[in-house]
A = this chain, B = another copy of it.
Amino acid sequence: MAKKNKAQFVQDIADIKEDFPQWYTDVVIKTELVDYGPVKGSMVIRPYGYSIWENIQRELDTRFKETGHQNAYFPMLIPYSFLTREKNHIEGFAPEVALVTHYGEEELAEKLVVRPTSETIVCEMYKKWVKSYRDLPVLINQWANVFRCEKTTRPFLRTSEFLWQEGHTLHRTHEEALEETLKMLGVYEEFMKNVLAVPVLTGRKSEKEKFAGANATYSMEAMMLDGKSLQAGTSHDLGTNFAKGFEIKYLDSDGEHKMPYQTSWGVSTRLIGALIMAHGDQRGLALPPRVAPIQAIVIPIASHKEGVVDKADELYNELKVAGIRADRDYSDNSPGWKFNEWEMKGVPLRVEQGPRDIENGVVQIFRRDTCEKVEVARENIAETVTLLLEEVHENMYNKAKHFLETHIQVAENIEDMKDILDNQCFVKTMWCGDPECELKIKEMYQASARVMPFDQTPVGTKCVACGKVHTEETPLNTIYFARAY
């Protein structure tokens, strides 16, 4: 990489307060997380970005297996007719699918779609595999690429092709299926907190916002630094909607043929966008330690002086041996350049050591989350770094949680929503459930219904849009509205 100076870095990244979307684009491109692909709406995930995805995958995959799921792989190309077997499904996805019509010169008898999601092909196989109640539950997850044509795209947040995992399960009863749906939403929520350091709001989606083919969609919503909401993951109670279309039936212990209840749940490379927009600042990325490709970067100061690089090597090796994802920068760039570079790349800890530090038996550690430097003893450095990484995680989570909590405001009247939204906050309010009211809010403020939280404590007495009154007998919904990605 060519040598640059401090001034250039600042010039190159748009002001985070003034133009958040441009700040985001500048950061993801400049830090080499991602690049634009040649086909409109496509992205290339570069090594630094893919490494974050690998860490996300490892953390999630462990959790899926601990909750009894196994991975499998289903074909990417699906007969078009499969999509039509669930009415809402085809309506939702038909405009977005990529159609394969030829193999080479040969036109296909039935056109195929590149999977936008896999419920249909999964059902086709489950129909073959599930015969008896003994075959239930089926608990399968798939890591895959999917494709949905999108008009407006942005790296990680919304791209035509993206990488994700999709869980697809079958159960004997609706109770069990609902339990699974909520359990996996819980797994996601815990992962967001303990791995990405991002707090989320969870709850149920409105009818308008639910998955095409679901009875109910549960979602987690994360707040970005511009006060917009990002749907970070969803978990669907599919009922028997797809099972009907694919005629999945099993022989129950009572000798009757029954239809199983189905769930699906997924998160995607969108999570990388979420963590960037939840933690970044004017200097660039600030990566949560548990997914940061590099957790600590070792930088020798005055490295031309004898022994300094050797000592840096010792430091580096000690960190590596302790299982810390450490790296070192011995390039001939100036320390100032390196500081900027690794801060922009969001490395949680910078570990510096110069001749005087060596003499004094200390190292200087710069924390990316607080942008403060601390001097620590050289002895037991791996232990110190490990503890600091924990502290960084906690601090990042608490900061994001504080931000979320201080950016939610209650609105009792629709007029009040404007200021709240313009002040980059979520609106917590009451809603009668009528899609007309939802639409009205959308049209007035470009804000959408995000989730109806599980805690339905009322925050008002009437529907924010139509004024319908909340009563014990005909309760309204407590709900969050926000502008969203």
**Per-residue contact bits, chain A 289-305, to B (CB 8 Å; 1 contact, 0 not):** 00000000000000000
Within 8 A of B (CB), among A20-66: 35, 37-39, 42-47, 50-51, 53-54
Judged by a CB distance under 8 angstroms, whether A140 is at the interface is: yes
Q: Which one of A99, A106, A160 has the highest number of Cβ atoms from chain B below 10 Å of its Cβ?
A: A99
- Are A50 and B75 within 8 A (Cβ)? no
- Are A134 and B75 within 8 A (Cβ)? no
- Are A100 and B103 within 8 A (Cβ)? no
On chain B, the residues within 8 Å of A95 by CB distance are 104-105
Interface of A is mostly: mixed
On chain B, the residues within 8 Å of A76 by CB distance are 76, 114, 145, 147, 161
On chain B, the residues within 8 Å of A163 by CB distance are 73
- Are A161 and B75 within 8 A (Cβ)? yes
Within 8 A of B (CB), among A151-179: 160-161, 163
Q: For the complex, what is the distance from the CA of A51 to the CA of B102, rounded to whole Å?
A: 33
Judged by a CB distance under 8 angstroms, whether A97 is at the interface is: yes
Identical copies in the complex: 2
- Are B45 and A72 within 8 A (Cβ)? yes
Q: For the complex, what is the distance from the CA of A134 to the CA of B332, rounded to whole Å?
A: 13
Judged by a CB distance under 8 angstroms, whether A71 is at the interface is: yes
- Are A44 and B71 within 8 A (Cβ)? no
Judged by a CB distance under 8 angstroms, whether A79 is at the interface is: yes
Also in contact, A104 and B100, with CB within 8 A (given A39-B75, A73-B50, A75-B42): no
A471: shortest Cβ distance to chain B, in Å?
44
Q: For the complex, what is the distance from the CA of A401 to the CA of B96, rounded to whole Å?
A: 52
A62: shortest Cβ distance to chain B, in Å?
12
Also in contact, A46 and B72, with CB within 8 A (given A38-B124, A103-B149): yes
Name the interface size band of chain A. Answer: 35 or more
Also in contact, A71 and B99, with CB within 8 A (given A112-B39, A149-B104): no
**Per-residue contact bits, chain A 92-134, to B (CB 8 Å; 1 contact, 0 not):** 0011111111111110000010100000010011001100101
Q: Which one of A45, A77, A78, A129 has the highest number of Cβ atoms from chain B below 10 Å of its Cβ?
A: A77
Q: For the complex, what is the distance from the CA of A160 to the CA of B140, rounded to whole Å?
A: 23
- Are A38 and B97 within 8 A (Cβ)? no
For A75, give its contact among B1, B37, B54, B106 (CB under 8 Å).
B37
Q: For the complex, what is the distance from the CA of A95 to the CA of B104, rounded to whole Å?
A: 4
Q: Which residues of A contact B (CB under 8 A)?
A: 1-2, 35, 37-39, 42-47, 50-51, 53-54, 70-79, 82, 94-106, 112, 114, 121, 124-125, 128-129, 132, 134-135, 140, 144-145, 147, 149, 160-161, 163
Pairs across A and B, CB under 8 Å, 20 listed: A1-B134, A37-B74, A37-B121, A38-B78, A38-B121, A38-B124, A39-B78, A42-B75, A42-B77, A43-B75, A44-B125, A45-B73, A47-B140, A54-B71, A77-B161, A94-B104, A97-B104, A98-B102, A100-B101, A101-B102
Other contacts beyond A35-B125, A39-B75, A73-B163: 15, CB < 8 A = A1-B135, A38-B75, A39-B78, A44-B72, A44-B73, A45-B72, A50-B72, A76-B161, A94-B104, A95-B104, A95-B105, A97-B103, A98-B100, A100-B101, A100-B114
